[in-house]
A and B are shown apart, each in its own frame.
Chain A
Amino acid sequence: GAVVSQHPSRVICKSGTSVKIECRSLDFQATTMFWYRQFPKKSLMLMATSNEGSKATYEQGVEMDKFLINHASLTLSTLTVTSAHPEDSSFYICSASRGDRRETQYFGPGTRLLVL
């Protein structure tokens, strides 16, 4: 089966600092990776779609300067929350799709971010 990892699984940081979250597809090449944000007891909100080698496509209302996404290789995408504030505290989940089996998104385990 396809495995997607995220690192770190949990991070606590001070307001104003930047936090980088990594999403890796461990045993397949992910042409597309998605970044989601989930608030407690709420659904997943798509933040951006990341294609290897090109700029990410951000959803309306998501600030690209605030949430920097880099998809440098077919197995790695990173999300950097810049100048984090308490309202950025959330659960961030990435998912990856193979180019030929897009119906199955493989989700990472998620990263819980707490900004103090």
Chain B
Amino acid sequence: EDKVVQSPLSLVVHEGDTVTLNCSYEVTNFRSLLWYKQEKKAPTFLFMLTSSGIEKKSGRLSSILDKKELFSILNITATQTGDSAVYLCAVEEASGTYKYIFGTGTRLKVLA
């Protein structure tokens, strides 16, 4: 059965800390891995990763994929209270039509 597992489930840090969120997956027909940030309502897109070892970066956020070990990490440096959210990892599975399998999410709380 295809699955996506994120860790930790929740995390509390102080402003300025660096955090690393993990996403591991077991998906039969992997096509890509995506990271989303969800605050109050719908998720917003952060990154899409398809190739191993290539870091994607956007401001204080960066992410990398390891297709051999089947995981990805999302790093947030110099965290701010506005980073408090649930971070979702999703894997795009492609068998005929494509679909997305979401992980459990990591709830991040950044304290001032």
Q: Is B60 an interface residue (CB 8 A)?
A: no
Contacts of B34 in A (CB 8 A): 103, 105
CB-contact partner of A103 in B48, B99, B104, B107, under 8 A? B48
Write out the residue numbers on chain B whose beta carbons fall within 8 Å of the beta carbon of A51: 97
Interface size grouping (class) on chain A: 20 to 34
The reply to whether A107 and B97 contact each other, CB–CB distance below 8 Å, is no
Are A102 and B98 in contact (CB-based, < 8 A)?
Answer: yes
A46 lies within 8 A of B97 (CB): no
Interface string of A25-39 (1 = CB under 8 A from B): 000000010101000
C-beta contact mask, B75-107 vs A, less than 8 Å → 1, else 0?
A: 000000000000010101000011111111101
Partner of B99, one of A41, A42, A49: A49
What's the minimum C-beta distance from B75 to chain A, rounded to whole angstroms? 20
- Output the residue of A34, A43, A57 with the most chain B CB within 10 A: A43
Report the bound CA distance from A32 to B90 in whole Å. Answer: 17
CA gap between A103 and B90 in the complex, in Å: 11
Given contacts A93-B42, A109-B41, whether A103 and B32 have CB atoms under 8 Å apart is yes
Among A105, A108, A110, chain B packs the most CB atoms within 10 A around the CB of A105
Residues of B within 8 A of A36 (CB): 102
- Measuring CB to CB, which residues of chain B are less than 8 angstroms from any residue of chain A? 32, 34, 41-45, 48, 88, 90, 92, 97-105, 107
Residues of A within 8 A of B (CB): 32, 34, 36, 41-46, 49, 51, 57, 59, 93, 95, 102-105, 107-110
